[in-house]
């Protein structure tokens, strides 16, 4: 009788951030459906409770039939990280200490019930997970959840280009040529590489990125959430000693939201609008609009006269916005709708949406590409500036807005960008054409026999051969 083929059990560890959860969940789904692997998905207890608010116990295991959700503790199970009352450096130190201990216990517990972990996959900024993997004698893998161009840029920053980038950090138009990449200006680089202010947040990210590249040689592979067709040059510029699998996915699903979805009937509202007429605006789960930006955004939307759906989280609803919202609520033509949170993928997939005004987080960028929607890019920080560069210059499916001295997009600039992308001019027609082309290329990659599926199967097969 032939020996039964071993099923691999991947422990996928993510930070309790909506953007990280979405991307890691998509990977988990593909590991189970395309590669037939078992997956345990783990975030902090606090994040786990927010994802599954109906569970009776904070650490209660949840199983959706394919994926098991089982949390670890960062020591702050009741309220998580509270930026207004906690020191970031102290919290991160406790997160590392408690996380390493409790995740190690989780691995032992899984083995004790006949579910031994064969590999641990981690999202960025959780490099201590490599030590947990080493402790239990299992391989570790990095799941890079930003663009391959960003990965390559960070690598070269720490390997020969830190001094020149630092020296010109105050010159937005200064051009730098990194190996294998198109010429980039300082304003295009991830913000943490050019930020000179001495603050704990920036220091954390720089230190974490430096550590990430230091421990990479202990990983057996890197999974890249991108597509070969999207970033051919950037992928070729990744160091050859790294074993990289490009496994970008667009399942466009999440196990649960960290934010409560707005009860307004926004999908029904979209159903009443003409095809390609609606402007959708969202700055994601972390970015916070300045008061000045809120006013200018509202002004631009009003002046454009196009119908819009605007997502503004409850934690970003300043007095000024409430006043604006009240005014819009009195608008008899029902031109706009504001919601606190929504299913972004459903909105982007709706035929009425003709443009996405986005902060250009990688999640939002990939979702927009998968839905074929052109973008007006309003990058805020971290990798968003580089994503905006890719959208405008490499892929040609959007425009990057100009900002004033305070980093704010003025109302008239928003109107200009919307007219450029959604108008009847030659430029707008070309942008929309390219958006549809990239939609086709993305789905070609994720369909059966596509590059993402083939690469994911090859990744799992690597474990079959080596372990």
Q: Which residues are catalytic?
A: 20
Contact indicator for 35, 119 with CB cutoff of 8 Å: no
Residue 141, beta-bridge partner list: 121, 221
Angle between helices 18-33 and 362-371 (to 10 degrees): 50
Label the pairing between strands 221-224 and 175-176. Answer: unpaired
CA distance 454 to 34: 9
Q: Exposed e or buried b for every residue in 182-200, given b needs 16+ CB within 10 A?
A: eebebbbbbbbbbbeeeee
Nearest CA among 96, 39, 94, 103 for reference residue 71: 103
CA distance 224 to 220: 13
Contact indicator for 20, 145 with CB cutoff of 8 Å: yes
CA distance 122 to 375: 30
Nearest CA among 264, 237, 444 for reference residue 337: 264
Structure tokens belonging to residue 115 = 């579910």
Question: How many other CB atoms are there within 10 angstroms of residue 368's CB atom?
Answer: 28
Nearest CA among 226, 247, 224, 228 for reference residue 236: 228
SS3 431: helix
Nearest CA among 128, 132, 109 for reference residue 119: 132
Nearest CA among 228, 378, 360 for reference residue 293: 378
Nearest CA among 138, 111, 143 for reference residue 126: 143
CA distance 71 to 41: 8
């Amino acid at each position: 009788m032939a020996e039964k083929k071993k099923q691999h059990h991947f422990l996928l560890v993510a930070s309790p951030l909506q953007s990280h959860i979405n991307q890691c969940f998509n990977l988990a789904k593909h590991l189970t459906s395309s590669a037939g692997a078992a997956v345990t998905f783990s975030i902090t207890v606090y994040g786990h409770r927010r994802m599954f608010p109906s569970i009776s116990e904070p650490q209660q295991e949840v199983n959706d039939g394919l994926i098991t959700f089982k949390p670890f503790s960062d020591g702050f199970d009741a309220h998580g990280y509270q930026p207004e009352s906690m020191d970031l450096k102290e919290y991160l130190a406790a997160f590392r200490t408690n996380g390493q201990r409790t995740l190690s216990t989780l691995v032992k517990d899984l083995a004790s019930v006949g579910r031994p972990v064969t590999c641990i996959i981690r999202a960025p900024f959780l490099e201590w997970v490599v030590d947990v993997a080493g402790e239990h004698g299992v391989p570790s893998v990095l799941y890079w959840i930003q663009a391959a161009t960003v990965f390559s840029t960070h690598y070269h920053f720490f390997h020969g280009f830190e001094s020149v980038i630092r020296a010109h950090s105050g010159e937005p138009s200064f051009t730098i040529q990194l190996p294998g990449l198109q010429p980039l200006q300082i304003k295009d680089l991830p913000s943490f590489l050019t930020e000179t202010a001495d603050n704990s947040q920036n220091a954390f990210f720089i230190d974490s990125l430096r550590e990430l590249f230091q421990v990479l040689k202990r990983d057996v592979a890197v999974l890249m959430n991108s597509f070969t067709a999207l970033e051919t040059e950037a992928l070729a510029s990744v160091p050859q000693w790294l074993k990289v699998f490009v496994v970008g996915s667009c399942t466009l699903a999440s196990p649960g939201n960290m934010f409560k979805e707005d009860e307004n009937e926004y999908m029904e509202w979209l159903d009443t609008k003409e095809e390609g007429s609606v402007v959708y605006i969202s700055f994601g789960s972390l970015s916070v609009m300045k008061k000045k930006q809120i006013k200018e955004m509202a002004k631009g939307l009003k002046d454009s006269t196009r119908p819009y759906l605007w997502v503004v989280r409850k934690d970003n609803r300043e007095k000024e916005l409430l006043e604006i919202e009240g005014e819009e609520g009195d608008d008899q033509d029902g031109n706009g709708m504001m919601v606190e949170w929504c299913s972004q993928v459903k909105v982007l997939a709706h035929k009425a949406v003709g443009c996405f005004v986005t902060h250009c987080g990688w999640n939002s960028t990939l979702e927009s590409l998968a839905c074929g929607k052109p973008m007006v890019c309003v990058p805020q920080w971290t990798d968003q500036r580089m994503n905006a560069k890719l959208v405008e210059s490499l892929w040609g499916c959007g425009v990057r807005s100009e900002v004033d001295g305070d980093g704010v997009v003025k109302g008239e600039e928003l109107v200009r960008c919307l007219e450029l992308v959604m108008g009847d001019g030659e430029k707008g027609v070309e942008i929309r054409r390219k958006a549809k082309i990239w939609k086709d290329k993305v789905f070609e990659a994720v369909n059966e026999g596509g590059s993402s599926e083939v690469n994911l199967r090859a990744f799992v097969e690597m474990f079959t051969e080596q372990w």
